[in-house]
Amino acid sequence: MAWLGTLITQTPEDGFELAIKLSRMAVKKTQPDDAARARMRPDYANNADSLTRVSQVVATHFQTIAQANGYWIV
């Protein structure tokens, strides 16, 4: 079963959660070693530039999801 069935979400908040999941899955797919990710986490978790870049990636995913959902305009 595929982990990503759709980009369609009920609310913008759900869309934002999906954007975070997309970002996390990209990291997991590019670095599948759990131990390696755990070792690297302190390096970026305490680095303001790294955290800002993470926010930018999530924002890009959220923009895509918002567009797929017609910006939730009813």
pTM for this model (two decimals)? 0.90
26-64 pLDDT, tens digit each = 999 999 999 999 999 999 999 999 999 999 999 999 999
What pLDDT is stored for residue 3 in this prediction?
Answer: 84
Residue 2's SS3 state is coil
Res. 67: pLDDT tops 90? yes
CA distance 27 to 59: 16
What pLDDT is stored for residue 74 in this prediction?
Answer: 77
